[in-house]
Structure 1
């Protein structure tokens, strides 16, 4: 059985914890990111840039926009640079200020102003549930949010505030759900749902009646997948301790949530239909870079024009026509 961190003696029961709005977040970020090797051999995947900000900064900005200013990073070996990113750099700031580069100065200072960043190290990567268990002493017996370290939502489509408000109303578990194609259900935790009776500001709230971790296509109760946003009561820690290894031989958070569901803890889902960037695999990472670059007022018009030329040239090349367009440097040279 995996070894868990010491239990917090201050953990209250769910009735007392459930109706306070969560003010802390946990970001599990201990994985080795093998799909991005060799780039992630020395650079954490969470610090890979999406245009000019790392993935992790977008996630912490999402927390800050929802009123969360206390963030715990659950890290692993070789991840100390994540903390450095959210620290001050007086030497760099002084140089930028002396040059009068106030725009970059503000950008450099911004990460340190978003939230208080704390860290703990997961001894070994034994699953998402195991990683979350390391947060017990930090959250202090209160409900808390969990945001996976490789996906974020567009700032124009806030999801977390609705989830926090819903959890404060119900005192239970609140999940982010998205619809996925039937052929992809085996990659996710899948929820069986029914209409919810609790009112909410969220556009679409459902009550979850069953959770299944990575089911076979023919065994999936629906095509509503649990994605990387959770708001959890403190009761989750005891459930994790009572959860044995699941899919992949790991301690799965989905299994711990399913245990609480069976024991009567209310579980609700917010069905998200906004823009979500999943940078956990190379194709999703590249899509996020392109989408956000195109949205930038300073970069978007020129980048989009180049991209349109590139796609047209690639299509022509594939069909035996003219070659790819020249790069900007070649055109201007």
Structure 2
């Protein structure tokens, strides 16, 4: 089956960016001229995804408005003769079919994915975390979808991280069957450095068979009152083969301030409209 649906959990509070996220969604923080959530949707669309399922919470209305048609804005732009901007705004709304589901309580990533069960049904689907922005020739989701279509098994996006950082990630291990691709058999959520099975980390791109929902329903709530997606993946691996792929391209962890600033600088340097002046400015700052 083709992967036509993607789940984007966006119900988090974004506490690392307070007070900016007190009244505005973290996913709407702009990376140059597009919000983080736009890059996530683009990542999905490039992989052939047709339906985007947002798992939202309170204070996330801006995401719905962003992907909706703004007749008032279009009228204003047309009145000013800016037809090219009208077309650009309409393209955002036409990127995919958008569905919104509320996660009423912050019960973790696993619970957020489980909320999409009724909409996903019996189809394979992708999960995309907007915090992870991946700059690559083929989108992160596209790379995983290609593997799914070859093996018809769940596949997870991976990245090798510093041993000092393993406690911040779900860590995996397994047998390498192709360069950068693994048949996974070990899954540990945020292990201490001395207990990590490897330094290969799960990052925010997944493609699952619908069997993951059954495992999520059986996954027990952890100490923080959350259902961990990694626990459900580990349980599923006892019944189905799960592959992992070290994703090509450069990943920016925009879930923290430093990663977000690094992404902003690099994306600005790639922007043809401002890159020359911005590079000149950076050189002046460095001299100071």
State the TM-score bracket (shorter-chain normalisation). Answer: over 0.9
1:176-207 deviation line (CA, Å, top 9, x unaligned): 0000000100110111121227xxxxx63211
Aligned mates of 2:287, 2:138 — CA distance in 1: 31
2:136–2:249 CA contact under 8 A, matched in 1: no
Q: 1:237 and 1:248 mapped to 2: Cα distance?
A: 21
Q: Which residue of 1 aligns with 2:192?
A: 216
Match of 1:206 in 2: 182
Look up the match of 2:70: 89
- Provide, for residues 229-250 of structure 1, a one-character-per-residue CA deviation record: whole Å limited to 9, x for no partner: 0001111111011111236442
In structure 2, stretches of 5+ residues that fail to align are none
In the alignment, is the contact (CA less than 8 A) between 2:39 and 2:130 conserved in 1?
Answer: no
SS state of the match for residue 222, structure 1? coil
3-state secondary structure, aligned to 1:161: helix
> How many residues are treated as equivalent by the alignment?
288
3-state secondary structure, aligned to 1:41:
coil
Matched, 1:137 2:118: yes
Query: Which residue of the other structure, out of 188, 213, 227, is the alignment partner of 2:203?
Result: 227
Q: Say whether 1:180 aligns with 2:161.
A: yes
Q: 1:189 to 1:247 in 2, by over 3 A?
A: farther
Farther-moved stretch of structure 1 (96-105 vs 75-84): 96-105
**CA separation in 2, counterparts of 1:310 and 1:227?**
33
Q: Which residue of 2 aligns with 1:161?
A: 142
1:109 Cα deviation from its structure 2 partner: 1.9
Task: Find the counterpart in structure 2 of residue 286 from structure 1.
Answer: 261
Other-structure match for 1:116: 97
RMSD: 1.5
Q: In the aligned structure 1, how far is the partner of 2:188 from the partner of 2:50? A: 32
TM-score, normalised relative to structure 2 = 0.96
Residue 237 of structure 1 pairs with residue 213 of structure 2: yes
Asked if the contact 1:157–1:275 (Cα under 8 Å) also holds between the matched residues in 2, the reply is: no
**TM value normalised by structure 1:** 0.83
1:256 to 228, 232, 246: 232
User: What are the residue-to-residue correspondences of 1:7-86 with 2, within 5 Å?
Assistant: 20-86=1-67
Q: More strand by proportion, 1 or 2?
A: 2
The 8 Å contact of residues 163 and 199 in structure 2, kept in 1 or not, is answered as yes
Partner of 1:277 in structure 2? 252
In 2, Cα distance between the equivalents of 1:275 and 1:302? 24
Name the counterpart of 2:274.
299
Per-residue CA deviations over 1:42-63 (Å, capped at 9, x if unaligned) read 1100011111111001111111
Whether contact under 8 Å (1:150, 1:278) holds in the other structure is yes
Structure 2 counterpart SS, 1:39? coil
C-alpha distance in 2 between matches for 1:196 and 1:247: 35
8 A contact 1:178–1:273 mirrored in 2: no
Greater C-alpha Rg: 1
